[in-house]
């Protein structure tokens, strides 16, 4: 399978923002400008996340998605505040190719099946925010890592994948924004539990972090910090992956 290099854009409307451990958000710039730049650099997908949607009980970046879809011709995924089939359908009609669901799925797991039945599994991403507990277990969080769910990653992945999700967006809260690499133990755990494609998110600080994800069973890496602050380009990451024998889109 071809490994995907994805640009992750966290949105606090109307701004692109970035934090560490999903906290301490700093304004980065205009999200449309960054999406267009990443498209021109050869990104495989754009991943938009409305990170305040849960606070306001709605996703508020439909217009951003629509504008992006007019000039960016790679798959666009959107997450945050999606609570009904109508919410998801509206985003798809606005130009999104996939929707990512976390909080609403935790509250009502059957929602994932409803989405898959209407939109198809290929359009449904299970968003998983995972945090390592003191005892070593991984716990599922919601609301950008603020809320405990009482579920373990082990139990939740096995349950949720039975509902027909097309892929998993796996965020390591502990690694997110640190630029110290993804939590490969977490990735290995989830890989053992499911054959569903896994997109890692969190911790990328250099191109070799992406190959580490690929070698640990990841199908893609959603990257933010090193792209936003121009430490590396998308082609830097793809060139490295190709050089170490990992298939990427050119």
Rounded CA-CA distance 134/199 in Å is: 25
User: Would the pLDDT of 24 be above 70?
Assistant: no
Q: Which ranges of the chain would DSSP assign to H, the alpha helix?
A: 31-40, 53-56, 62-69, 85-94, 103-107, 110-119, 153-160, 184-193, 207-215, 225-228, 234-243
Q: Which ranges of 124-193 would DSSP assign to H, the alpha helix?
A: 153-160, 184-193
Residue in 10, 143, 174, 183 annotated catalytic: 10
For residue 153, which phi and psi values (nearest 5 degrees)? -60, -40
User: Would the pLDDT of 5 be above 90?
Assistant: yes
For residue 158, which phi and psi values (nearest 5 degrees)? -65, -40
Please write the tens of the pLDDT for every residue from 37-83.
999 999 999 999 998 876 666 667 999 999 999 999 999 999 998 99
Residue 129 known to be catalytic: yes
Residue in 44, 50, 87, 129 annotated catalytic: 129
Please report which confidence band the pLDDT of residue 19 belongs to, taking 50, 70 and 90 as the band edges: confident
Mean pLDDT (whole number) for 179-188: 97
Which two tokens mark 239? 């060139």
What integer pLDDT is reported at residue 250 of this predicted model?
86
**Mean of pLDDT over the chain:** 94
Fold topology of 4-243: TIM Barrel (3.20.20)
User: Would the pLDDT of 92 be above 70?
Assistant: yes
Residue 236 known to be catalytic: no
Residue 8 zone, left/alpha/beta (φ > 0; ψ -120 to 50; rest): beta
Please write the tens of the pLDDT for every residue from 198-240.
999 999 999 999 999 999 999 999 999 999 999 999 999 999 9
63 class by beta-carbon count within 10 Å (0-12 exposed, 13-18 middle, 19+ buried): exposed
What integer pLDDT is reported at residue 41 of this predicted model?
97
């Amino acid at each position: 399978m071809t490994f995907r290099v994805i640009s992750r854009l966290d949105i606090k409307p109307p701004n692109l923002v970035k934090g560490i451990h999903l906290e301490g958000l700093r304004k980065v710039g205009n999200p449309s400008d960054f999406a267009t730049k990443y498209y021109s650099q050869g990104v495989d997908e754009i991943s938009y996340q409305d990170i305040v949607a849960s606070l306001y009980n709605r996703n508020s970046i439909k217009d951003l998605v629509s504008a992006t879809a007019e000039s960016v011709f790679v798959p666009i995924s959107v997450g945050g505040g999606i609570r009904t089939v109508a919410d998801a359908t509206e985003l798809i009609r606005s130009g999104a190719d996939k929707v990512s669901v976390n909080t609403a799925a935790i509250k009502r797991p059957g929602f994932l099946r409803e989405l898959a039945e209407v939109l198809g599994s290929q359009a449904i991403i299970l968003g998983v925010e995972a945090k390592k507990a003191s005892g070593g277990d991984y716990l599922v969080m919601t609301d950008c890592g603020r809320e405990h769910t009482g579920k373990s990653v082990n139990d939740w992945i096995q349950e949720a994948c039975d509902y027909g999700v097309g892929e998993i967006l796996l965020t390591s809260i502990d690694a997110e924004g640190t630029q110290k690499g993804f939590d490969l133990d977490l990735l290995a755990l989830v890989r053992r539990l499911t054959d569903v494609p896994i997109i890692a998110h969190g911790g990328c600080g250099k191109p070799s972090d992406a190959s580490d994800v690929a070698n640990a069973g990841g199908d893609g890496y959603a990257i933010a910090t090193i792209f936003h602050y121009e430490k590396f380009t998308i082609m830097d990451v793809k060139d490295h992956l190709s050089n170490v024998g990992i298939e990427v889109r050119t």
